[in-house]
């Protein structure tokens, strides 16, 4: 199974590449139809389907033709014939399906586990969503209430990098979650419809982590398990950048690893948050900044006016920081490595970094050129000047 996971590729413009297959399509009777080609361009499924979802971790995919859903494996063989009006997501080997207007649960071989007796609006992961007077609630497999019918929507979501998008039937690599929405606020649900925490939030976004390189091969394997959760400071005021606190929630651990106490948590592009090589991000609170490690802990005192942490820098342990009107360099624990004495300090590259002093330094008149000119001021890792432009 581990080897199969490594073969999963990201969706590209018109080709949906996953598990080594290419999603091909053509027009039939003025509508798009889809099929599957394997890595050798051999037809696995003919171009005769309205929708082909991605293969899941067990090598199964739902396909739809003429309004009916069926389940296929990676050889194109039908595990369950086309017969369902709706089909959900497999959770612990079971999936909600709709047949003859009623919902029931089946396994991957089509065996009925829960009879087709449930009436519901739609299925979300391992639970059903019911509707009453335009409001939505949730029930479990036994028909017991999980959520009252007071929500504007209860939907399954696929989290992508830098945001979330409503589930459209075809999944991208990312993390499946369930969200309940009411009056502009959200609740995060687990696979079985229970609230992960009681307090609502105003927005969430995620930064997925890339474990397979290099990029140009398109051999990606994303794993998104950390969510940035934003909540209102004052519930009586609108949610905006001045009335939100952000924290970090780990979906796999089912807990906050950094509480919602920060005004901002920033990560650099195109880094991947909590990547194994670059396990820090910048967090701001009350006008000061610090670093958070991959466990959500502050690694240094919250005392810097600005921290220019960049995981793509050559030396991530010489981090430009701004304090009391001057720039210097610190490590990830806040230990000063090069004293605070610069008007500006850049990232290290090839063993040196560009900086700016005042007009005089050590008795020398120094022209403060903008970084990038032919003769910038550069220092080595010990803070020694190795290149300076002196006025004639």
Query: Looking at per-residue confidence, does 392 or 180 come out higher?
Result: 180
Span 41-96, pLDDT tens digits: 778 888 888 888 878 878 889 999 999 999 999 888 999 999 999 999 999 999 99
Highest mean predicted confidence (pLDDT) among 22-36, 128-142, 356-370: 128-142
Residue 204 has pLDDT above 90, yes or no: no
Please, which pLDDT band fits residue 157 given cuts at 50, 70 and 90?
confident
Q: Which residue has the tokens 């780990």?
A: 250
Report d(CA 338, CA 319) in Å as an integer. Answer: 10
Please tell me the predicted confidence (pLDDT) of residue 388: 62
Q: What is the mean pLDDT of the chain?
A: 77
What lies within 8 Å, CB to CB, of 185 at 6+ separation is: 200, 201, 202
Please, which pLDDT band fits residue 323 given cuts at 50, 70 and 90?
very high
User: Nearest to residue 60, comparing CAs of 123, 107, 117, 114?
Assistant: 107
Please, which pLDDT band fits residue 31 given cuts at 50, 70 and 90?
low
Q: Which residue has the tokens 């700016």?
A: 356
Query: Angle 16-223-74 (CA atoms, 0-180°, nearest 5)?
Result: 40
- Taken as a whole, the chain contains a residue count of 392
Q: What is the pTM for the complete model shown?
A: 0.74
Residue 113 has pLDDT above 50, yes or no: yes
What lies within 8 Å, CB to CB, of 107 at 6+ separation is: 93, 94, 95, 113
Residue 223 has pLDDT above 50, yes or no: no
Residue 356 has pLDDT above 80, yes or no: yes
- Mean pLDDT of all residues in 5-31: 39
Span 247-263, pLDDT tens digits: 988 888 899 999 999 99
Could you tell me the CA-to-CA distances from 181 to 149, 156, 245, 339 in Å, in that order?
Answer: 11, 11, 19, 50
Give the distance, in angstroms, between the CA of residue 45 and the centroid of all CA atoms in the same chain.
31
Alpha-carbon radius of gyration of the chain: 27
Please tell me the predicted confidence (pLDDT) of residue 376: 61
Report d(CA 97, CA 126) in Å as an integer. Answer: 11
- Mean pLDDT of all residues in 287-310: 92
């Amino acid at each position: 199974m581990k080897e199969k996971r490594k073969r999963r590729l990201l969706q590209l413009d018109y080709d949906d590449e996953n598990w080594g297959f290419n999603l091909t399509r053509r027009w039939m009777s003025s509508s798009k139809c889809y099929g599957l080609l394997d890595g050798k361009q051999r037809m696995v499924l003919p171009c005769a389907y309205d929708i082909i979802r991605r293969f899941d971790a067990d090598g199964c995919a739902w396909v739809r033709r003429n309004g009916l859903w069926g389940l296929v494996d990676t050889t194109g063989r039908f595990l369950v014939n086309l017969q369902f009006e709706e089909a959900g997501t497999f959770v612990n080997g079971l999936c909600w399906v709709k047949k003859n207007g009623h919902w029931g649960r089946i396994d991957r071989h089509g065996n009925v586990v829960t009879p087709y007796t449930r009436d519901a609006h739609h299925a979300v992961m391992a639970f059903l969503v019911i509707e009453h007077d335009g409001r939505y609630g949730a029930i479990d497999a036994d028909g017991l209430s999980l959520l009252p019918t007071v929500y504007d929507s209860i939907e399954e979501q696929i989290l992508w990098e830098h945001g979330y998008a409503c589930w459209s039937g075809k999944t991208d690599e990312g993390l499946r979650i369930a969200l309940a929405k009411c009056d502009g606020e959200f609740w995060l649900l687990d696979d079985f419809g229970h609230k992960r925490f009681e307090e609502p939030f105003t927005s969430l976004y995620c930064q997925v982590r890339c474990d397979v390189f290099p990029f140009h091969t398109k051999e990606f394997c994303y794993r998104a398990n950390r969510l940035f959760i934003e909540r209102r400071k004052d519930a009586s005021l609108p949610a905006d950048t001045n009335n939100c606190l952000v924290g970090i929630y780990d979906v796999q651990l089912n807990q906050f690893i950094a509480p919602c106490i920060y005004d901002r948590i920033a990560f650099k592009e195109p880094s991947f948050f909590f990547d194994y090589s670059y396990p820090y991000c910048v967090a701001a609170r009350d006008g000061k900044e610090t670093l958070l490690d991959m466990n959500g802990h502050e690694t240094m005192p919250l005392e810097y006016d600005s921290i220019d942490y960049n995981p793509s820098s050559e030396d991530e342990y010489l981090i430009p920081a701004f304090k009391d009107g001057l720039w210097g360099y610190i490590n990830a624990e806040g230990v000063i490595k090069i004293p605070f004495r610069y008007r500006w300090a850049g990232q290290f590259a090839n063993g040196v970094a560009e900086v700016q002093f005042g007009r005089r330094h050590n008795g020398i008149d120094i022209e403060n050129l903008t970084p990038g000119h032919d003769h910038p001021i550069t220092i080595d890792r010990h803070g020694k000047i190795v290149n300076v432009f002196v006025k004639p």
